[in-house]
Amino acid sequence: MSTDVQASQGTSFPLNPKLGSADIETEPIRMGFGRGLLEAGRRDERVMALCADLTDSTQMSLFKKEFGDRFVEVGIAEQNLATAAAGMARNGRIPFTSSYAAFSPGRCWEQIKTTSCLNEMPVKTVGSHAGLITGQDGATHQMLEDIGLMRIMPGMVVICPGDALEAERATIAMAAHPSACYLRLARDKTPVFSTPDSPFEIGTAYVLREGTDVTLIGTGTMTYELLVAAEILADQGISAEMVHVPTVKPLDEETILASARKTGCVVTAEEGQIAGGLGGAVAELLGEKAPMPVKRLGVEDRYGETGSPRELLEAFELTGEHLARKAAEFLRAR
């Protein structure tokens, strides 16, 4: 990627100056959550942490070490995890629950609905090891449906941070938010494209790169891949605007509509099922308020497979190179 990316980005979101270089920092997004939860606990003694026998894997161990009296290990019992957290919230606590996303919300969606959302309890559900890059654990552990599952839940905020630094900021923001929230985390290392000065606000999307020919909209790990795609497209004479959407719900309609109306066509990308996910949310918005061509990229009605993170992104054609090719084909077919 060219170093010119800094000059073409949006002005309100500083990007890592190493963006595009081989030595860009990488870190598991879940590690940012661990640091954020610890800081949230230091700021507010009402913050509690509950885990389903995956304390180290989900990075709740940092909180447990410092605030052992505010940590609860429920064991491999995700339905109890959700229900106990709702009870704590009813008593004025701010509970965070963590497990693999395949199990929470995958196994306890109904408990989250009836105990947290129906009762308007601010439980913070953290789904770690989400998406394809869970890797060698295979299809049973690759939660690809969680964005759709949680987005359709009334009253639920859905956050998919793009890197570890953003996950840290998002966790702190969630602790202060009055509603139930879902935080989606990846397992393996991914590039850190933001900086400590980059903003994060629940419900806000950010223009990372300005363009005129097509709007690329990404969330989670796909934002970095779309930044790579935007630079590839630039080399082909295509000016791509890149919009990062860390909050899938509530969706930042104003930012998305402004960019879409500017370029006249939209390509979305997510590391999960395109049915009901970010692409669905954007398509619904544009269909109602600004009809235009939309191409949704992601996992298309199939389950995951076993492999390294990069092998899986290649197999599912979700690398920056694949995304750029598909976006260019979409533009040519219009």
Q: Which of 39, 78, 145, 231 is catalytic?
A: 78
Residue 41 structure tokens: 């606990």
Backbone angles phi, psi at 261, to 5 degrees: -65, -30
- Tokens standing for residue 300: 């298309």
Between the alpha carbon of residue 5 and those of residues 12, 217, 228, 232, 313, the distances in Å are 14, 17, 10, 11, 23
153: left (phi over 0), alpha (psi -120 to 50) or beta: beta
Annotated catalytic residue 78: yes
- Which residues participate in catalysis according to the annotation? 78
